[in-house]
Amino acid sequence: MNIRALGRWGLMVSAAALAAGCNSTAIRVGGAPEASVKNCVAAASREFRVPASSVVADKGTTPRDGVYTINLKIGAQGRPALCTTDENSAVLGVVYKRAQ
């Protein structure tokens, strides 16, 4: 197992813990509430038809008051996606990012 595969495995384990509702520590991504991150992972799983364990929360921002933007990596290839939530952690949308 090389370093890249080991790192990818670690991310998958982290995503699995998130999907399972691990209670050990709060998961914060760029200031977004834990509920927003969990809801984004669940929404991406449904939208892109992949297991929740293959969705990884990468980083996030708060571009406006009460709206959170969370970057996701989808699947084994780590395809980038974007999820937005409101102040109540309701998912506003989840989309794949365009290649630059």
Summarised one tens digit per residue, pLDDT across range 70-81 is 999 999 999 999
Sequence-distant (6+) residues with CB within 8 A of 41 are 15, 18, 19, 52, 55, 57, 72
Q: Which of 62, 73, 64, 69 is nearest to 96 (CA)?
A: 73
The CA distance from 54 to 77, in Å, is 10
pTM over 0.95: no
pLDDT below 70 — which residues of the chain? 1-28, 30, 100
For the beta sheet containing 79-85, the strands, ordered from the edge strand earlier in sequence to the opposite edge, are 55-64, 67-74, 79-85, 91-96
